[in-house]
């Protein structure tokens, strides 16, 4: 059975906050507001202090950096009454997502049209920010997040006729290979490149000794869910955010 806490820890390492505070079982992170995952409170472990006091402290942590207070919730968030308590305090649920996993077969595949970097090279950053508007608008914080990654990371550009058609990154920790930022250029969509890039990421993970691939996708993104399902990814669990409004 999948250990949700283990995978949450690994994904937290794969996409870290720039500023982090550990507080009575909660991991409080911020990174300039770029992505919810790096700018949220992760209530992973047992708590001992008064719950309302902790929520207030989390709010102070976020507001001191000019950010909304966001909690990343799963079915194992602690304490168990936290989700209800947040709702009663005016926190609304937003951006529910699915974590999908897939066993890696170790099958080899031609990766010759995949440029692979082990650091976020200028070429990769240029391609990624060109293809992703959100990344382009947050290039400073993107760079700081990437510089904070400790496990082995891979930065990939899919090229066709020397033209970059897609980008992605991956992070390997233990037997897990996380796939992030899979982005295909607008003019190259619906041409099968998203599937090809994902398959090649999985082949790379197998080559690097990983056993399980994982990724995260918004629950409303039917196109992406259908694609990953066609590649035998299966739902492991869901998470959602509680946001103070």
Amino acid 243: pLDDT:
95
What is the mean pLDDT of the segment spanning 62-83?
A: 95
Amino acid 1: pLDDT:
52
Amino acid 202: pLDDT:
93
| pLDDT per position as a tens digit, 127-161 | 999 988 889 999 999 999 999 999 999 999 999 88
CA distances from 32 to 141, 171, 232 (A): 6, 22, 35
Amino acid 26: pLDDT:
96
The rounded mean pLDDT for the chain is 93
Residue 108 has pLDDT above 90, yes or no: no
What is the mean pLDDT of the segment spanning 174-188?
A: 91
What is the mean pLDDT of the segment spanning 163-175?
A: 93
What is the mean pLDDT of the segment spanning 115-135?
A: 92
**pTM (2 decimals)?**
0.91
Minimum mean pLDDT range among 47-51, 73-77, 107-111 = 107-111
| pLDDT per position as a tens digit, 9-68 | 999 999 999 999 999 999 999 999 999 999 999 999 998 999 999 999 999 999 999 999
């Amino acid at each position: 059975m999948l250990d949700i806490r283990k995978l949450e820890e690994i994904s937290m390492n794969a996409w870290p906050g720039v500023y982090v505070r550990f507080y009575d079982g909660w991991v409080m992170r911020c990174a300039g507001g770029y992505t919810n995952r790096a700018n949220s409170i992760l209530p992973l472990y047992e708590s001992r202090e008064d719950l309302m006091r902790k929520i207030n402290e989390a709010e102070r942590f976020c507001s001191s950096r000019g950010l909304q207070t966001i909690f990343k919730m799963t079915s194992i968030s602690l304490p168990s009454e936290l989700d209800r308590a947040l709702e009663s305090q005016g926190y609304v649920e937003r951006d529910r997502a699915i974590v999908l996993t897939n066993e890696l077969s170790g099958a080899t595949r031609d990766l010759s049209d995949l440029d692979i970097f082990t650091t976020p090279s200028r070429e990769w950053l240029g391609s990624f920010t060109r293809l992703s508007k959100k990344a382009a608008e947050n290039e400073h914080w993107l760079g700081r997040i990437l510089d904070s990654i400790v496990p082995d990371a891979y930065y990939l550009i899919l090229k066709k006729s020397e033209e970059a058609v897609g980008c992605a990154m991956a992070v390997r920790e233990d037997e897990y290979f996380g796939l992030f930022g899979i982005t295909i250029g607008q003019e190259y969509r619906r041409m099968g490149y998203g599937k090809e890039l994902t398959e090649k990421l999985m082949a790379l993970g197998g080559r690097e000794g990983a056993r399980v691939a994982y990724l995260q996708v918004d629950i409303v993104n039917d196109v992406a869910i259908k694609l990953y399902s066609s590649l035998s990814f299966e739902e492991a669990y869901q998470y959602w955010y509680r946001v103070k409004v």
